[in-house]
Amino acid sequence: MTDKLNVSIVGGSGYVGGELLRLLLFHPHVTVQQITSVSQVGKFAHTAHPNLRSATDIQFTHPDTLTECDLLFLAQPHGYSAKNIDHFAGLAGRIIDTSADFRLNDVETYARWYGEPHPAPDWLAKFVYGLPERYRAELSTANYVSGVGCNATVTNLALTPLAEAGLLAGGTVIADIKVGSSEGGARPNEGSHHPERSGAVRSFKPTGHRHQAEVQQTVGDDFDLYMSVTSIELIRGALVTAHCLLNQPVTEKDLWKLYRKTYKSEPFIRLVKQKTGIFRYPDPKLLPGTNYCDVGFEVEEGANRVVIIAAIDNLMKGAAGSAVQAMNVMMGWEETAGLDFPGLHPI
């Protein structure tokens, strides 16, 4: 008998599934019951996730063989969770879905950004957006949690203090985001072919990025937000440089006060702002495998412009790490449980 929480991962062979498995295998309050995959049935986890060799002898099972568990993590491509949510809810009383299916709580907003009606509109209101820094109280009583968009998360955490202070109202933010290749998932495509992807500095989505809706839902929609995403030579990581035109001038001292006040008790947010040194601004290079979001800022002298810089590991704080953090909040456990890896240097 175990008093640990039995969890299963659907889509366990993907990059987010692999990170969830890595975190959950070493989580003090969790037992991993099943990991599913269509393409890897019967194979050991380390076939898809070689870093987990000797960490577990669990094998992939087909999604059709899923059995009841306490909490189900869903980590498949967009659309799959929403189409099967009634089935999954019959198997587990708690669900954390890392896809985009249940992130937006308004049906019309969903249809506008995803180009089709939501397949399970009645479920949208039951899900809480899985960003503990914004929805901790709601998550503590939630049974259904949506994961977070990686580019949305780094932008949300960059902008939250400004939004809460009312400095963005009527203003404009241009969030320029550089991202690594693992954002595209484990399945190869033409653009991920090594000769095409390696060395690329490729505009991926200069306008109309879907995560804009997630950010405006989270930090507010009383300002103009424009997001541009560029793929760079990086495997894990997202860095936002948010050019913010505020409704009034602020000083660096004001920003220090504001960001400290908002984030002083946050276990996974670090303010990074030094006068000297190569790591004086947030840099995703330091974050692979960690659940941190590093946030820094600078004021443009003589203008209402501030630049907020934030960095995450997209597979961690941008996906699996936030999902595990949200589980910790849901379960009333220490929020940092299973998430204490400090990263590597040099790397």
Ligand X SMILES: NC(=O)c1ccc[n+]([C@@H]2O[C@H](COP(=O)([O-])OP(=O)(O)OC[C@H]3O[C@@H](n4cnc5c(N)ncnc54)[C@H](OP(=O)(O)O)[C@@H]3O)[C@@H](O)[C@H]2O)c1
Site residues (vs ligand X, CB under 6 A): 11-17, 37-40, 75-78, 80, 98-100, 147, 149-150, 182-183, 185-187, 314-315, 318-319
The residue sitting closest to ligand X, measured at its beta carbon, is 14
- Cβ at position 38, least distance to ligand X in Å: 4
Of the chain, the end-to-end C-alpha distance in Å amounts to 41
3-state SS assignment for residue 339? coil
- Cβ at position 142, least distance to ligand X in Å: 18
Smaller CB separation from ligand X, 39 or 198: 39
- Cβ at position 252, least distance to ligand X in Å: 32
Cβ–Cβ < 8 Å for 152, 319: no
Could you tell me which residues come within 8 angstroms of residue 131 by beta carbon, excluding any fewer than 6 positions away? Answer: 148, 153, 156, 157, 218, 322, 326
- Cβ at position 300, least distance to ligand X in Å: 31
The two three-digit tokens of residue 220, written as one number: 């507010």
- Name the residues annotated as catalytic: 150
| H-only helix segments in the chain | 15-25, 45-48, 80-83, 85-91, 107-114, 132-139, 150-164, 194-197, 211-219, 252-263, 321-331
Smaller CB separation from ligand X, 13 or 160: 13
Could you tell me which residues come within 8 angstroms of residue 61 by beta carbon, excluding any fewer than 6 positions away? Answer: 34, 35, 36, 37, 41
The Cα–Cα gap between 277 and 291 comes to 23
- Cβ at position 167, least distance to ligand X in Å: 28
- Cβ at position 30, least distance to ligand X in Å: 19
> Which DSSP string do the residues of 50-88 spell out, in sequence order?
GGGTTT---BEE-GGG---EEEEEE--STTHHHHTHHHH
Exposure letters 61-85 (e unless 16+ CB within 10 A, then b): bebeebeebbbbbbbbeeebbbebb
What's at 155, amino acid-wise?
A: T
The Cα–Cα gap between 134 and 148 comes to 12
Between β-strands 202-205 and 224-231, what pairing exists: parallel, antiparallel or unpaired? Answer: antiparallel
Smaller CB separation from ligand X, 99 or 328: 99
